[in-house]
Structures are given as C-alpha cells and as structure tokens.
Amino acid sequence: MTSLNLLRPSTVPEAAAMLAEHGNDARVISGGTALVPLMHEKLLTPAYLVALYKVPELNYITYEPEVGLRIGALTSLRDVETSPLVRQHAPVLSYTMGHIASVRVRSVATVGGSLAEANYASDPYGVLITLDTKAKAIGASGKRSIEMRGFVTGHYETALQPHEVIIELFVPEVSHDTCATYIKYTTRSQKERPAVGVASLARLDGAGTCEELKVVVTAAAETPQEIAEAEQLALNEKPSPSLVREIALRYSQQIEPLEDHRASAWYRRQLIEVLVRRGLQSVLRVEGGHSR
Ligand SMILES: Cc1cc2nc3c(=O)[nH]c(=O)nc-3n(C[C@H](O)[C@H](O)[C@H](O)COP(=O)(O)OP(=O)(O)OC[C@H]3O[C@@H](n4cnc5c(N)ncnc54)[C@H](O)[C@@H]3O)c2cc1C
C-alpha cells in the first residue's frame, strides 16, 4: 500500500517549491471535490498532496474600475456566485457559478480547481472565454498569464505546464453596452453537469447594429467550441430572426458532438441548435427566431 503525504504550504512560492521538488509524485488539492473521487477510484495515486487551503493570499475578489475583477484561485464557487462585486460587474459569471452542482459542492469547490480539472462537461469555460478571461499561473519559470480561450486542450488536459499552479482569474472590465447569457441544459438532475452549455455575449450600438458577438458551446465536445465564421455573420448587421437561425444552424452543423451518458451525439446536435438560437435571441434582442 502506498502512503499519502499531505503537505500544507502557507505561501504560493512554498507551494510551487513543493510541487517542483516532488515532480510527478505530487498533486495540488484545493476543494478536493474533483480530485478525491478520482483518488478513491484509484485513477490518480499521488504520493504527495500539496493542499492550498492554508494559503490565505489566494482567497479574494477585488475590482478596479476600468480594469476588471481579480479572483484568487482558492475562492469558492459559492463566494464568486454571491459576491456583490461579481454580481455588479460580471453578472453572467455570478449566474453561471450559481448553476454549478449544489450549494454544498459550490461552498467547497474552488475557481482554480474548476479550471484545472478540465472536464469537458464543466460550466464556467464558455462564459470565461466570452468575457476574455485570463488565468494567472506560477511555475518553475515564474508567473504567466494564460488566455481562457485555448486553455482546455483536451479531456482532462490544459495549457498548464506540469506543476504550474493557478493563482488568479482576471476578468477584464465588461462594457455597459454588453449583454451576456449562459444557458445550461441538463438531462438528469438540475444540479448535474450540462449535456450542453451555451455562453453568448453581444454588443450592439445605439442603432441596434451588432458590433461584437461571441458564442461558445461547452460540454458538447472535448474542448469548448466557438465557430468564428458563424459569429462574424452578425458583425455590422441589424440582428433578425433569419440571422439568428443561420448562426445557430452553423453551430449545430460544424460542431462534432460527442456521445456519453448525458446525451447522444444526435441529441446534442439538436440541443446546440436550439440553445445557441435562444442565447442569440437574448443577447441580440431578437424575438420570433423559433423555427420549432
Ligand atoms: C456532485 C458534484 C456535482 C458537480 N456538478 C458540476 C456542475 O454542474 N458543473 C460544473 O462545472 N462542475 C460540476 N462539478 C465539478 C466541480 O465544479 C469541480 O469538482 C470543482 O470545481 C473542482 O474544484 P476543487 O477546488 O474541488 O478542485 P480539486 O478537486 O481540489 O482539484 C481538481 C483538479 O485541479 C487541480 N487543481 C486544484 N487547484 C489547482 C490550482 N490552483 N492550480 C492548478 N491545479 C489545481 C488538482 O490537482 C486536480 O487535478 C461537480 C462536482 C461534484 C462533486
């Protein structure tokens, strides 16, 4: 039987040094809601757990006008959901966090753990991509900033280097004329991971012309999916029901959905079309885009 050593650093550099020292034998643990079940199943058997819960400098939410929100990696999903700063400056992020699992799980699960887990069926990635969020990480070669777009590289795989620790999430200031939504569809309990999630964000000028559109579909494939040529159809256009239908159709045709216990590939394709259309109707303020 292998023994498990719990290491409790009290600063970020100490945590980074412990990870560097123990290499592949060590694993960061934050809330443990994803890692502990994997260890119970013996899918992961680290000899050292580097526990971040005694690193208070990683638990904060701050806001700087015209710059944005900074959220420490050890902040719980529940604290992000209920933060008055997040509710005021990035309400879609607060809403999304509030629809992950149960209050019990959200009170323990952390921002850093949620991002590093890289489960394809996680809720936050789409919204974080539409908000141009960046993760700050520290590793052997110092600190660096990683764009959330491209952060998930495969199932349980991220752009993090081995032993890099996420220390912060930076959400740039969201302009006041931006409208954003997240739609999550679950096929079992409402507290479950999504079968498909759709994050949409749009900016219209005073005359109602679209200046910016981002739509990211999650939980449908191994990585978050964004179809740039479909988004571009809306640029400099006055949104209409036919435009909304066309963009939604392109998303459903161009994403290769996976198949799992939550939904078949065929069902996911239908969901993508319907949910992208609903997201677009909301952020582009278009009514009557339903074709079914
Ligand atoms: C019952 C249940 C329901 C759930 N439902 C949903 C859902 O509806 N939607 C959804 O999106 N998710 C859902 N989840 C997943 C949940 O959001 C994640 O388990 C949680 O966010 C992971 O955070 P944690 O702090 O517990 O991470 P941990 O379990 O501590 O770690 C997870 C992984 O990230 C690594 N890690 C942790 N912190 C860091 C860091 N700072 N830097 C680098 N690597 C790090 C760990 O080494 C590990 O590999 C659910 C989980 C449970 C148990």
- DSSP code per residue over 199-241: EEEEEE-TTS-EEEEEEEEESSSSS-B--HHHHHTTTTS---H
Q: Where does the pLDDT of residue 191 fall: very low under 50, low under 70, confident under 90, or very high at 90 and above?
A: confident
In the predicted structure, residue 290 carries a pLDDT above the cut 60: no
Minimum-distance ligand 1 atom for the alpha carbon of 38: 29
pTM attached to this predicted model: 0.96
CA of 247 to the centre of ligand 1 (A): 32
Residue nearest to atom 27 of ligand 1 (CA): 113
Confidence at residue 291, expressed as pLDDT on a 0 to 100 scale: 40
Q: Is 186 in contact with 193 (CB distance < 8 Å)?
A: yes
Tokens of 283: 């952020």
CA of 287 to the centre of ligand 1 (A): 37
Q: Is 244 in contact with 281 (CB distance < 8 Å)?
A: yes
Minimum-distance ligand 1 atom for the alpha carbon of 76: 25
User: CA 144, CA 49: separation in Å to the nearest integer?
Assistant: 23
User: How distant is the alpha carbon of residue 158 from its chain centre?
Assistant: 12
Residue nearest to atom 36 of ligand 1 (CA): 113
Residue-wise pLDDT tens digits, 8-63: 999 999 999 999 999 889 999 999 999 999 999 999 999 999 999 989 899 999 99
Mean pLDDT, the chain, integer: 95
Ligand 1 pocket: which of 7, 14, 27, 29 to mutate (most atoms within 8 A of CB): 29
Residue-wise pLDDT tens digits, 194-213: 999 999 999 999 999 999 99
Choose between 86 and 140: higher pLDDT. 86
Tell me phi and psi for residue 93, to 5 degrees.
-70, -40
In the predicted structure, residue 101 carries a pLDDT above the cut 90: yes
Residues near ligand 1 with C-beta < 6 Å?
A: 27-35, 52, 73, 100-101, 105, 109-110, 112-114, 116-117, 122-123, 165-166, 192-193
In the predicted structure, residue 292 carries a pLDDT above the cut 60: no
Minimum-distance ligand 1 atom for the alpha carbon of 114: 21
In the predicted structure, residue 289 carries a pLDDT above the cut 60: no
Choose between 171 and 192: higher pLDDT. 171
Residue 110 DSSP one-character state? B
Residue 47 DSSP one-character state? S
CA of 22 to the centre of ligand 1 (A): 22
Q: Is 220 in contact with 226 (CB distance < 8 Å)?
A: no
Q: Where does the pLDDT of residue 123 fall: very low under 50, low under 70, confident under 90, or very high at 90 and above?
A: very high
Mean pLDDT of all residues in 110-127 = 97
Q: Look at residue 244 and give its three-state secondary structure.
A: helix
Minimum-distance ligand 1 atom for the alpha carbon of 160: 43
Q: Is 108 in contact with 32 (CB distance < 8 Å)?
A: yes
Q: Where does the pLDDT of residue 286 fall: very low under 50, low under 70, confident under 90, or very high at 90 and above?
A: very high
In the predicted structure, residue 82 carries a pLDDT above the cut 50: yes
Residue-wise pLDDT tens digits, 216-259: 999 999 999 999 999 999 999 999 999 999 999 999 999 999 99
